[in-house]
A and B are shown apart, each in its own frame.
Chain A
Amino acid sequence: MRYVAGVDVGSTQAKAVVLDEQACVVGEAILDVEMNMGSAAQQVFDLVVARAGLSSDEIAFTVATGYGRYRVTFGDLQVTEISCHARGATAEFPNTRTVLDIGGQDTKAIRIGESGEVVDFAMNDKCAAGTGRFLGAASFALELPLSELGPLALKATAPVKITTTCTVFAESEIIGHLAKGYRPEDVLAGMHYAIATRCASLVRRVGLAPEITFTGGVSRNAAMRPLLEQTLDRPLNVSAKGHFMGAIGAALYALDHARAGAPRATAQEVVS
């Protein structure tokens, strides 16, 4: 075998990586899940394979994860985001005992045992409050790209208290605060704080054990990390590849199977 792939089809964005036999990332790609999860998965896969300068038949094994993992028809195996984020996080930070994954639609807290195994996990996946979408609403209201939200929030001097938890009403609340003359950075900081508190309680649900690694797309947000560190009063590991942790974990599982010489799944197996 030569290469393996991990595809993380999230609710908001599809992420993919390709690893070589030494488990080094040789290609990564990310796409917004515009319309169809299935096709987004296919596109991001093609893209990552191309970026790695490979052709798809050079990929010995592909593991799909994420909200849309069962829509990945070309995958050989599906693994939940929980295991994948845990795997990815411990690969980069071996002493990780807690993983916090804040994604576009749901947030997960994962407790990890001595040998990197998942011991416990908790998710909020019934209500989109306090997820990446909350920030999405902010970026819409402030007409700022996601990547600029964090840096701006860090400039806050007097964070505003955000009372709405509903992601939908968040937008109007932000505009309301702006109209009242609050500074954008203070409103933003309030939003970030609201998310941080929600996520912190999820982390306590599985028992707050150092080290904590912060993954998922929101880990790219510059303000979330300091805020979470403050609310949990613990330092957090954040990887430059945080957004890809799920995909990387999936690819590592793929590597296990490829090494074990597991056969590629046939179409019907994937479907079932």
Chain B
Amino acid sequence: MATDAIDTESAFTSILARCHALSLRQQIAGDDAHKAIGYFPVYFPEEIVHAAGLLPYALLGGGNRVEVRYADARIGSFVCSICRTTTELGLNHSLGEMAGFFAQPICDAAKHMAGIWGRNFPQQDPQILALPQNVSSPAAARYVYDEYQRLRTILAEKVGRAITDDEIRASLGVYNENRRLQRALYAIKRDDPSRLSTVEAYLLIRAGTRIRREEHNVMLREALDLLARRRVRPMDKPRVIFVGGFCEQPPLEMIETIEDVCFIVDDDLLIGQRWITEDIPEQGDPVWALAESYIQRSASSPVQYDVRKPKEETLMTMLREARAEAAIISAAKFCEPGLDDQLALSRRLDREHIPHLVLEFEEKMTSFEQMAMQVETFAETLLFE
């Protein structure tokens, strides 16, 4: 019994250790290099790349482990960290051999990434994949469809063969399952937060950006199975949600600092890995199904304009469904869309008298004393309630 618990724990830990190694790897594993299609957040249709037999490679910056030596000379001092470290990874040859690069017009800095890549790594044939900001327009679905078809053609040229509907349908299936498994992780985080910490969930999901989805599905199934048997000592911490991690990712230290004193029962971390919120229909024209999913079942974020999804309402729903008593409203430094929403959201929470903490982070930050003080104070105020 006791030994069983230890085995479960150690088995789970070794999975996380692998995820940890995968998440922090800056260099693309040798054999994958030429197959990797790098893409900048958020709403990228990985399925099409997967169907082409290529490796969709989410560019998530270099975190606080990459030393920025060249990028500072190429990017304005007032630009977010993920653009900076991603450029650094390019310039220091960690991403030298990718077979493609796509940025999306989620913000003005991201559009420039296509320019930077084009000037420095033309052989990767960097592109902007259009992403309509006028999501609720009747013409939008058709337009996304056309743009996805363009992507399909570009990839077909890369692999030298057509990408069939059946291949894409198969990929939809793989990704539908992957998202189901991710939702299961989040359900545990929400219903039994002592069982699965946010850092653990984060590592499990982030690992998926570095391996094939089939492999990731196996890993997640195994992890979920172990989690069900995991021995937990229930803890008593305030339940909060965390928003602001939709593009640039906060350092692990930051998530841990928060989790020392709170349960993060829902968040928008790595939302680009799970932006499609329900299963995509696997019958009919798969590209249409994918395009239609962006319009009909995509997660809201500060970089998507959709009159049907007012940001404040989305937040209130998130709070309600997560049964959270408070919110941490963060934004990446110099992230205009994030900062604009941060204010709107915190003002709304002020009006609703919902306790919240406004945090600004930088992916490359390394000192967390001040942040710890802020988070502890926040937790202390919640304990006063």
Contact = CB atoms under 8 A, between A and B. Distances in A.
A and B in direct contact, judged by CB atoms within 8 A: yes
Interface string B60-85: 00000000111011000000000000
A205 B367 contact: no
A50 B95 CA distance: 62
A201 B74 CA distance: 11
B69 A163 contact: no
A204 interface: yes
B72 A163 contact: no
Interface in A162-218: 163, 200-201, 204-206
A201 B367 contact: no
A163 B70 CA distance: 21
B70 A204 contact: yes
A205 B68 CA distance: 12
A206 B70 CA distance: 10
A204 B367 contact: no
Contacts of B72: 201, 204-205
Interface residues of B, number: 6
A228 B68 CA distance: 17
A206 B73 CA distance: 8
B367 A163 contact: yes
Chain A interface size range: under 10
Contacts of B73: 122, 201, 204-206
Which of A200, A204, A205, A206 has the largest count of B CB atoms less than 10 A from its CB? Answer: A204
A200 B367 CA distance: 23
Contacts of A205: 72-73
Nearest to A205: B73
A197 to B, nearest CB: 9
B253 to A, nearest CB: 14
A206 B74 CA distance: 10
A129 to B, nearest CB: 14
A6 to B, nearest CB: 31
Contacts of A163: 367
Nearest to A207: B73
Nearest to B67: A197
Contact of B69 (A122, A204, A206): A204
Nearest to A206: B73
A270 B370 CA distance: 51
Contacts of A122: 73
Nearest to B366: A163
B84 to A, nearest CB: 12
B74 to A, nearest CB: 9
A139 B157 CA distance: 64
A201 B71 CA distance: 10
A204 to B, nearest CB: 6
A163 B366 CA distance: 10
A201 B69 CA distance: 6
Contacts of A204: 69-70, 72-73
Which of B68, B70, B367 has the largest count of A CB atoms less than 10 A from its CB? Answer: B70
Contacts of A201: 68-69, 72-73
Interface string A132-159: 0000000000000000000000000000
A230 B70 CA distance: 17
Contacts of B69: 200-201, 204
A204 B70 CA distance: 7
A256 to B, nearest CB: 32
Contacts of B68: 201
Nearest to B77: A126
Interface string B172-185: 00000000000000
Interface in B65-111: 68-70, 72-73
A111 to B, nearest CB: 11
Contacts of A200: 69
Which of B69, B72, B73 has the largest count of A CB atoms less than 10 A from its CB? Answer: B73
Contacts of A206: 73
A204 B72 CA distance: 9
A201 B72 CA distance: 8
A122 B69 CA distance: 15
A206 B69 CA distance: 12
A137 to B, nearest CB: 20
Contacts of B70: 204
Nearest to A201: B72
B289 to A, nearest CB: 47
A122 B73 CA distance: 10
Interface in B266-325: none
A259 B127 CA distance: 57
B128 to A, nearest CB: 27
B81 to A, nearest CB: 15
Interface string A76-110: 00000000000000000000000000000000000
Nearest to B91: A204
A200 B69 CA distance: 8
9 contacts: A122-B73, A201-B68, A201-B69, A201-B72, A201-B73, A204-B69, A204-B72, A204-B73, A206-B73
Given A201-B68, A201-B69, A204-B70, 4 more contacts: A163-B367, A201-B73, A204-B73, A206-B73
Interface of B: 68-70, 72-73, 367
Task: Name the 9 nearest CB pairs between A and B, nearest first.
Answer: A205-B73, A204-B73, A201-B72, A204-B70, A204-B69, A201-B69, A163-B367, A205-B72, A201-B73
